[in-house]
């Protein structure tokens, strides 16, 4: 099967998928993701939109090194991840990928500062370095005044900002957002996406997985996924007038 080809807009890739596919043995076999080529350069902002069961989670798990493809090659910042052991993949994920989840995944009995500092556990940083980096990340998302607050005392929008700070604390090559506004009201969702886009403007490479076409439309690049097949939406071009 000929893979879908989705070219990058920049030269140096952070993500490069070459004929990557994922299937599960049957009978019958389930083809969760059909072969795809996808390239993201430094600073790309990609939305992946599709309904439940379309293959979004499969793609997220592959990009986040939480699962391995059945076939194809995945290069993360030039590293062929298929050649790595599970320990090496865990270390690479901890250093180079940040995650923002719909359900926040914050530890209720840890402060905002401690939750964000946990994002640096897999580095060689000592406790002071971890906390200094966490403070800076929280200030970056507008929560410098909430360092010692527990998640239970934060609003939904504030909890998602803590989660975003945790994703950024290691200065990752790639940030993956899985339905980042799914648990928020429309006004808070818009505020969180405004923040995400401000951070993207600093050069962060960003992938947002969403079922919401309004959220998807905010990205610079959009991909739809249905029955495991990806298709990129090309921007409309206006013909020049004489």
Residue 13: how many CA atoms within 13 Å on its side-chain side? 17
Structure tokens at 55: 């293959």
Rounded Cα–Cα distance for residues 13 and 32 (Å): 25
Share of residues in the chain with pLDDT > 90 (%): 47
Check: CB of residue 174 under 8 Å from CB of residue 63: yes
Q: What angle do CA 72, 45, 222 make, to 5 degrees?
A: 70
Check: CB of residue 215 under 8 Å from CB of residue 183: no
Alpha-carbon dihedral sign for residues 103, 46, 236, 32: negative
- Model-level pTM? 0.85
How does pLDDT run along the chain (242 residues), one tens digit per residue?
A: 554 545 544 456 999 999 999 998 878 888 899 999 999 999 999 999 988 888 888 999 999 999 999 999 999 998 999 889 998 998 889 888 999 988 888 999 999 999 999 888 777 777 888 899 999 999 999 999 999 999 999 999 999 999 999 999 988 889 999 988 888 888 888 888 888 888 888 888 999 998 888 888 889 999 999 888 988 876 544 445 44
For tokens 């010692």, what's the residue? 148
Spell out the residues 6+ positions from residue 181 whose beta carbon is closer than 8 angstroms to its own: 102, 160, 188, 189, 192, 193, 210, 212, 215
Longest CA pairwise span in the chain (Å): 65
């Amino acid at each position: 099967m000929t893979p879908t080809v989705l070219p990058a807009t920049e030269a140096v890739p952070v993500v490069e998928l070459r004929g990557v596919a994922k299937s599960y043995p049957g009978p019958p076999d389930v083809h969760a993701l059909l072969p795809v080529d996808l390239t993201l350069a430094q600073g790309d902002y990609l939305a992946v939109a599709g309904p439940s069961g379309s293959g979004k989670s499969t793609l997220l798990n592959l990009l986040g090194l939480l699962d391995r493809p059945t076939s194809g090659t995945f290069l993360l910042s030039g590293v062929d991840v298929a050649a790595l052991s599970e320990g090496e993949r865990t270390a690479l994920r901890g250093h180079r990928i940040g995650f923002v989840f719909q359900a926040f995944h914050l530890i209720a009995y840890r402060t905002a500062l401690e939750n964000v500092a946990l994002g640096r556990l897999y580095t060689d940083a000592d406790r002071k370095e971890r906390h200094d980096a966490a403070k800076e990340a929280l200030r970056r998302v507008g929560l410098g005044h909430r360092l010692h607050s527990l998640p239970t005392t934060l609003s939904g929008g504030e909890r998602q900002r803590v989660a975003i700070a945790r994703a950024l604390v290691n200065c990752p090559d790639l940030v993956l957002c899985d339905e980042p506004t799914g648990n928020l009201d429309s006004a808070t969702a818009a505020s969180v996406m405004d923040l995400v886009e401000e951070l993207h403007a600093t050069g962060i490479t960003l992938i947002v997985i969403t079922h919401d076409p309004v959220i998807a439309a905010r990205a610079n690049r959009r991909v739809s996924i249905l029955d495991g097949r990806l298709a990129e939406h090309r921007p409309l071009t206006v013909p020049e007038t004489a």
